């Protein structure tokens, strides 16, 4: 996947550290998203039997902290990534914006 992003010259970073600020102070937490693409898409990569609510909460938290409009969980432990192996999410901050 990383090779494909590089080949297409898509801006991304891996294991992006996500800062958590509380009342003006940065907390010492180790939040990292698997991929952060074009400063707007948070991607979490999994290889699990099913996508559980814990993974969804993790992704939604990262999206909020990064102010990312969209996120996706990709589960490589499925017979077909599309449609069964992926779930896409929209940040609540962006749901009501007109396109």
For the chain, what are the domain ranges? 2-90
Q: Class of 2-90 per CATH?
A: alpha beta
- The answer to whether the bond into 59 is cis (omega within 30° of 0) is no
User: Residue 98: what pLDDT?
Assistant: 55
Q: Rounded to an integer, what is the distance from CA 10 to the centroid of its chain?
A: 16
Burial code of 44-75, b = ≥16 C-beta within 10 A, e = fewer?
bebeeeebeeebeebbbbbbebbebbebbbbb
User: Residue 60: what pLDDT?
Assistant: 96
The 10s digit of each residue's pLDDT in 18-41 is 999 999 999 999 999 999 999 999
The 10s digit of each residue's pLDDT in 76-89 is 999 888 888 999 99
The 10s digit of each residue's pLDDT in 35-71 is 999 999 999 999 999 999 999 999 999 999 999 999 9
């Amino acid at each position: 996947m990383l090779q494909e992003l590089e080949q297409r010259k898509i801006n991304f970073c891996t294991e992006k550290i996500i800062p958590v600020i509380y009342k003006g102070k940065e907390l010492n937490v180790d939040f990292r998203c698997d991929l952060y693409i074009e400063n707007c898409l948070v991607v979490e990569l999994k290889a699990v039997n099913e996508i559980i609510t814990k993974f969804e909460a993790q992704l939604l938290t990262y999206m909020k902290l990064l102010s990312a409009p969209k996120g996706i969980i990709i589960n490589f432990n499925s017979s077909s990534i599309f449609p069964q192996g992926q779930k896409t999410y929209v940040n609540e901050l962006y749901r009501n914006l007109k396109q």
